């Protein structure tokens, strides 16, 4: 089992709808979780991080963490074409490592 699992997609969502990206992880000891966005040919950039159970909101983005279910998600409200990218879910590991999933490709269709 991979340490961080994501559906590779592509996930196609109509403009203005809510995009829901999901991630599961295998290590119950993980404390912090990260969502990075990566446009094609560009470097990953941090969208959100979360370390407490529940929801964390930042503008159109909401991260949700459920440690009991070992599940973290990212919701994007009012999806825009500019949200089309690959979203990488990551979790902390020992000695400052971030272990990333393979990413979910999101496509927002006009």
Q: Where are the beta strands (DSSP E) in the chain?
A: 4-5, 11-14, 19-25, 33-38, 45-50, 54-58, 61-66, 71-76, 85-92, 98-100, 104-109
Q: Does 61 bind another protein (CB under 8 A)?
A: no
Is-contact 91 25, C-beta < 8 A?
Answer: yes
11 counts as binding another protein under rule CB under 8 A: no
Structure-block tokens of residue 71: 């599940």
Closest CB to another protein among residues 65, 99: 99
Listed ranges 13-21, 40-48, 56-64, 66-74: which one lies at the site for another protein (CB under 8 A) = 40-48
d(CA 81, CA 63): 20
Nearest-angstrom CA–CA distance, 14 and 38: 20
Q: Shortest distance, CB of residue 93 to another protein, whole angstroms?
A: 9
Please report whether residue 22 would count as binding another protein according to CB under 8 A: no
* 32: nearest Cα among 97, 105, 103: 97
Residue whose CB is less far from another protein, 14 or 59? 59
Would you count residue 49 as binding another protein (CB under 8 A)?
Answer: yes
Of 38 and 70, the one with the shorter C-beta distance to another protein is: 38
Q: Which of 15, 54, 66, 97 binds another protein (CB under 8 A)?
A: 97
Q: Which is nearer to another protein, 62 or 86 (CB)?
A: 86
């Amino acid at each position: 089992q991979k340490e961080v699992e994501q559906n590779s997609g592509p996930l196609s969502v109509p403009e203005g709808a809510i995009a829901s990206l999901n991630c599961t992880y295998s290590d119950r000891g993980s404390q912090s979780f990260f969502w990075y966005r990566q446009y094609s040919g560009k470097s990953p950039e941090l969208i959100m991080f979360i370390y407490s159970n529940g929801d964390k909101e930042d503008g159109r983005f909401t991260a949700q963490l459920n440690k009991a279910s070992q599940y973290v998600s990212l919701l994007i409200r009012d999806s825009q074409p500019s949200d089309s990218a690959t979203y990488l879910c990551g979790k902390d590991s020992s000695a400052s490592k971030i272990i990333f999933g393979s990413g979910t490709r999101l496509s927002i269709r006009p």
